Amino acid sequence: MESEILTNVHSTADQYYEKQVVRPTGARVHAAELDADEEEYFPLQPIEKKLCAWSLGVGLTLMAVFIGVFERI
């Protein structure tokens, strides 16, 4: 029962992508959905924020290391 509850929980972003990828639509329906999608906003989830912060930190650190190493050569 517990696993059933966990598997049925979807975030709004998951529902959005499933709607866009899984179900083919006609041009008229697609245009209406695009208009509706323009108004929706998906804030970043906490794990996405951490991933962005870590990626930026690692990138800046590596850039500083490479600049330091290549300036000495």
Dump pLDDT digits (tens) for 19-62.
Answer: 666 666 677 877 887 777 777 777 889 999 999 999 999 999 99
Nearest to 59 by CA among 70, 67, 49: 67
Residue 27 lies in a domain: yes
Domain count, the chain: 1
pLDDT of residue 35: 79
Q: 41 to each of 7, 10, 12, 34, how far by Cα in Å?
A: 24, 16, 10, 13
Question: What is the Cβ-side half-sphere exposure of residue 57, based on CA atoms within 13 angstroms?
Answer: 6
CB-CB neighbours of 50 under 10 Å: 11
Residue 18 lies in a domain: yes
* pTM for the whole structure: 0.46
Residue 63 lies in a domain: yes
Domain hosting 25: range is 12-69
Residue 5 lies in a domain: no
Residue 28 lies in a domain: yes
Tokens of residue 13, six digits? 């972003």
Residue 21 lies in a domain: yes
